[in-house]
Amino acid sequence: MGPLNGYTVIELAGIGPAPMGGMILADMGAEVIRIDRASSANAPVMKDVSSRGKKSVVLNLKDPAGLETLLRMVENADAIIDPYRPGVCEKLGIGPEACMARNSKLVFARMTGWGQEGPLSKAAGHDINYISITGALYAMGRKGEKPVPPLNLVGDMGGGGMLLVNGILAALLEAANSGKGQVIDAAMVDGAAQLMWMFHGFEAMGMWDASQRESNLLDGAAHFYDTYECADGEYISIGSIEPQFYALLKELAGLSEEEFGDQNNQALWPEMTDKLTAVFKQKTQAQWCDIMEGTDVCFAPVLNFVDAPNHPANVARDTYIEVDGITQPAPAPRFSRTPASVQHGGHQPGQDTDAVLKAMGFAEQEIAGLREAGAIH
């Protein structure tokens, strides 16, 4: 059983970072109960990886009896995840004040883009917007070209889902000592800003030009930290930053000291990039893997996410698993004594309504009455 075995988390159904956070908590052993909308009761189940390990209860939150059912569930929970815009839960009658009146030890985790307060808090947005005002998006892309969105990994996932889990775990630890819950304001804009911490330090030391893309050590300007096309049209990546790793790159790629000896001369980086581009085009990706993979060059083939599970290193570590016919990342991180695991695939909306409510003290006759009244499904 995972390290969070014995904890119960209620997740109000949402998209992106909130369900990701719930998935990680479920992987770690928490009982995560997703509250699905009544409108989803008869909808086909999407192949949603984030639903793995979670139970599903369908409540009609527009019905007073449905709201009361949720509040009674909160009495038995350790945390609740709110994925809505600021104020929505309050309007429904299930905001922090109402929930914590039922359970003073409850961790009420709120996941938004712009945060609970501020001039943008009520506005709609997506990952690309949140990372835009933190400097993260501006920094990504080639020189003289427009910024390139890094999928929705920086705002939604790294700056959202991971930040949410971090906050919930810290608040649960604190509640174990104080006996008191609290509200967490997890905002993707804050998380994305945190992910930029190192670059603020670099800029302060005069080591980063924030006004230009592809002009710095880690943004594709350095010939020894970039991706290169191979003879077969596939790509490889190198990150030979340290002198000893760069020396090995020169040795294994057959680079002359005369042309590539001055590693950190930024004025020569474009020229050395052009020359290295020609070198890597002389062999296929597989050939370069035979030469460099597993060495201290800091090398890897660039794979798409469909091919990634078949890479020998990922196979050896069981980095990917298959659940309900879908290949997906295995739970992480790895625990030596209480390993994380996927208990089951995604459940149909409402599949666990009766079982969950019974476990929380609802009588069978009461459950039947709630269903007949349309409060649950």
Q: Which residues contact 136 (CB under 8 A, 6 or more apart)?
A: 150, 154, 155, 192, 195, 196
Tokens of 19: 């369900």
Q: Are 277 and 338 in the same domain?
A: no
- 35 with 157, same domain? yes
**How many beta carbons lie within 10 A of that of residue 52, not counting itself?**
23
- Name the token pair of 172: 């649960």
Do 135 and 279 lie in a common domain?
Answer: no
- Catalytic status, residue 354: no
Q: Do residues 328 and 320 make contact, with C-beta atoms less than 8 angstroms apart?
A: yes
Q: Has 156 been annotated as catalytic? A: yes
Q: How far apart are CA 241 and CA 9, in angstroms?
A: 43
The rounded distance, in Å, linking the Cα atoms of 261 and 268 is 10
Q: How far is CA 43 from CA 36, 38, 52, in A?
A: 11, 10, 17
Contact call for residues 115 and 187 (beta carbons, < 8 A): yes
- Residue 42 is predicted with a pLDDT of 62
33 and 182 in one domain?
Answer: yes
Same structural domain, 99 and 229? no
Residues 77 and 122 in one domain: yes
For residue 264, being part of any structural domain is answered with yes
Q: Is 267 in the same domain as 302?
A: yes
376, 353 Cβ separation under 8 angstroms: yes
Q: What is the model's pLDDT at position 44?
A: 60
Q: Are residues 263 and 335 in the same domain?
A: no
Count of positions (residues) in the chain: 377
- Rg over alpha carbons for the chain, rounded to the nearest Å, is 25
Q: Which of 367, 345, 348 is nearest to 356 (CA)?
A: 367
Query: Which domain covers residue 175, as residue numbers?
Result: 8-195+324-372
**Separation between Cα atoms, residue 130 and residue 140, nearest integer Å:** 14
Domain co-membership, 234 together with 348: no
Residue 161 near residue 81, CB atoms below 8 Å:
no
pLDDT averaged over 10-residue windows placed end to end, the chain, 377 residues: 97 97 98 90 74 97 96 98 98 98 98 98 97 98 97 97 98 98 98 98 97 97 98 98 98 98 98 98 98 98 98 98 96 98 96 97 97 95
Alpha helices by DSSP H, 103-220 = 127-130, 162-178, 188-195, 197-204
The count of domains in the chain is 2
Per DSSP (E only), the strands in 73-157 are 79-82, 107-112
Say if 92 falls within a structural domain.
yes
Helix (H, G, I), strand (E, B) or coil at 242: coil
Q: Is residue 46 part of a domain?
A: yes
Is 148 part of a structural domain of the chain?
A: yes
For residue 76, give the nearest of 6, 1, 23 by alpha carbon: 6
Contacts (Cβ under 8 Å, ≥6 apart) of 94: 61, 67, 70, 71, 74
Domain with residue 349: its CATH number is 3.40.50.10540
Q: What is the pLDDT of residue 46?
A: 63
Tell me, yes or no, whether 219 lies in a domain. Answer: no
Q: Residue for token digits 């304001």?
A: 185
369, exposed or middle or buried, with CB in 10 Å at 0-12, 13-18, 19+? middle
In the set 48, 126, 311, 324, the catalytic residue is: 126
* CATH number, domain with residue 255: 3.30.1540.10
Q: Is 203 a domain residue?
A: no
How far are the Cα atoms of 2, 19, 55, 269, 314 from residue 376, in angstroms, in the given order?
30, 21, 15, 64, 43
User: What confidence score (pLDDT) does residue 16 get?
Assistant: 94
pLDDT at 45: 59
Question: Are 257 and 136 members of one domain?
Answer: no
HSE-CB at 118 with a 13 A cutoff on CA atoms is 13
CB 350 within 8 A of CB 57: yes
The secondary structure of 10-31 as a DSSP string is: EEE--STHHHHHHHHHHHTT-E
Catalytic residue among 156, 190, 219, 226: 156
213 occurs within a structural domain: no
Type of residue at 239: G
Which has the closest alpha carbon to 255: 246, 266, 268? 246
Same domain, 37 and 172: yes
Residues 297 and 328 in one domain: no
Quote the tokens at residue 276: 């290295």
